[in-house]
């Protein structure tokens, strides 16, 4: 027997055992292997599908996030503009009120100055009148101290009456 050429009996038994092993593998082994491979392929495909869905959701979330950020920026700009407008309106209202108050105070001051001026003029007139009367009294006393001046004054008063 040579190592290269086997006997007919050995070939027969090897073929028979190979056939039985092939039959057992074909009947129970290969279906399990193909099921396992198929299940693994299905899991991989499902994982790929879920990853694509997650990626799509992530893209949607990113676009939603951008939209929310844009909306928030617009809202912020609107609020800032309203605040600025409100501040300007309040400042303008304060200016108008200050101007009105200033004009009222000025009018009151003018009125008070005019009243004090009139009062001062009356006081000056009274003082001038009092001084005039005092001067006239002194002049008359001097004139009346003389007898001739008194007689003349009496004659003049009688004539006027």
Residue 146, sorted as left (phi over 0), alpha (psi -120 to 50) or beta, turns out to be beta
Q: Is 115 exposed, middle or buried (0-12, 13-18, 19+ CB in 10 A)?
A: exposed
Q: Specify the pLDDT at position 23.
A: 94
Residue corresponding to tokens 């108008």: 96
Taking the C-alpha atoms of residue 152 and residue 161, their distance in angstroms, rounded to an integer, is 14
Per-domain residue ranges of the chain? 10-124
User: From first to last of its 161 residues, what are the pLDDT tens digits of the chain?
Assistant: 566 777 888 889 999 999 999 999 989 988 898 999 999 999 999 999 999 999 999 999 999 999 999 999 999 999 999 999 999 999 999 999 999 999 999 999 999 999 999 999 999 999 898 888 888 877 777 766 666 666 776 777 788 87
Give the C-alpha distances (Å, rounded to integers) separating 52 from 41, 42, 47, 60, 65. 16, 15, 8, 12, 19
Residue 2 gets which letter from DSSP? -
The answer to whether the beta carbons of residues 134 and 128 sit under 8 Å apart is no
0.85 exceeded by pTM: no
Residue 5 gets which letter from DSSP? S
């Amino acid at each position: 027997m040579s190592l290269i050429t086997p006997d007919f009996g050995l070939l027969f038994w090897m073929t028979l055992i190979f056939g039985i092993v092939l039959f057992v593998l074909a009947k129970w082994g290969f279906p399990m292997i193909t099921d396992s491979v198929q299940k693994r392929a299905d899991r991989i495909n499902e994982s790929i599908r879920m990853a694509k869905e997650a990626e799509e959701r992530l893209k949607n979330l990113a676009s939603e996030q951008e939209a929310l950020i844009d909306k928030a920026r617009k809202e912020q700009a609107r609020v800032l503009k309203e605040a600025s407008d409100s501040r300007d309106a309040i400042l303008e209202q304060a200016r108008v009120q200050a101007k009105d108050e200033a004009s009222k105070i000025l009018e009151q001051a003018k009125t008070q100055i005019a009243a004090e001026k009139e009062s001062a003029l009356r006081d000056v007139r009274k003082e001038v009148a009092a001084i005039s009367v005092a001067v006239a009294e002194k002049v008359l006393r001097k004139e009346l101290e003389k007898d001739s001046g008194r007689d003349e004054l009496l004659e003049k008063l009688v004539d006027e009456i």
